[in-house]
Amino acid sequence: MQQWMADLMPVLAASEPAAATARFRDHVFARGVTYFQARAYTRPVGRLTSQRHYAAGGVIERRAVPGWEGSGAFNFICFDKNPLLRPIREGRTRYRFSDYAPHRDRRFGDYWEALSEARIGEALCATSYGPAGRIASVHIGFAEGAPPPECARTVHRAALLFTDHLIDLAPAEAQGAEDTPPALTSREADCLAYVAEGKTDWEIAVILSLSEATVRFHIDNARAKLDAATRAHAVAKWASLGQL
């Protein structure tokens, strides 16, 4: 514990978010960590969804297995199955991923399979909450499972000091400052809203009395206006602007 705190002093002395994050990342990777992510952002307006949580941005640094970010497994845990929204809603400051996605619960088998592609067998999260919806969090992943309880408590305490420091340091633009929404037509916005609900092109076409080709046309236009790489990305960006 004493050594952990002594090694943390350079992190807390950093005056920039990127510098503090780099020092903390080196601090934990020297102790066998396989995954690392630090964020400082503003909590999205409205109901917290996977898309809004992702679109809030604010990722200062993410270190993972090369090629995992943006992969099917990565997108699955970001958009399709993210049990970690619950502790954010609850205002939890520290927890294990398995607290909300138990390893023995078959409902989360696909979740852990996706995480395994990033060499994450367990992860610890520390989150600090500041004024005006400011949030700073860090995820620390381990390939073979979390360290023993006493060590995990030490990691969590150190991580909370780090995230508290990020709350003080992170500039507004790193915390999801609002942007001006692009001008989507009513049809483009409607189609994107139904995509967010998980509707297929055929279902949207039936609901709006359009052809599937026209639905795809509107969705593609919306994606282009939002400068989004995929439909999911477009939904996330639109949600982050408070339009869903």
Same domain, 39 and 139: yes
Same domain, 171 and 190: no
Alpha-carbon dihedral sign for residues 23, 28, 30, 34: negative
Helix (H) or strand (E) holding 189: helix 186-196
Same domain, 193 and 105: no
Rounded to a whole number, what is the largest CA-CA distance in the chain?
66
Residue 7 sits in a domain whose CATH number is 3.30.450.80
Q: Structural domain tally of the chain?
A: 2
Same domain, 114 and 54: yes
Whole-number Å distance between alpha carbons of 126 and 240: 23
Same domain, 25 and 97: yes
| End-of-domain residue from the set 121, 146, 175 | 175
Q: Which amino acid is present at 244?
A: L
Is residue 236 a contact partner of residue 51, using CB atoms and an 8 Å limit?
Answer: yes
For each of the chain's 244 residues, which pLDDT tens digit applies? 566 667 788 898 999 999 999 999 999 998 889 999 999 998 876 678 888 888 888 999 999 999 998 899 999 998 889 999 999 989 999 999 999 999 999 999 999 999 999 999 999 999 999 887 889 999 999 998 878 888 889 899 999 999 999 998 865 444 444 456 677 888 888 998 899 889 999 999 999 999 999 999 999 988 888 888 888 888 888 887 777 6
Same domain, 158 and 42: yes
Q: Which domain holds residue 87?
A: 2-175
Helix (H) or strand (E) holding 46: none
Helix (H) or strand (E) holding 123: strand 122-129
240 phi and psi angles, rounded to 5 deg: -65, -20
Alpha-helix runs per DSSP H in 1-144 = 2-13, 17-29, 50-55, 72-75, 85-90, 97-100, 109-116
For helices 231-240 and 212-225, the axis angle rounded to 10 degrees is 60
Q: Return the structure tokens found at 139.
A: 């995820």
Q: Provide the residue count of the chain.
A: 244
For the full predicted model, state whether its pTM sits above 0.75. Answer: no
Structural domain contains residue 181? no
Structural domain contains residue 90? yes
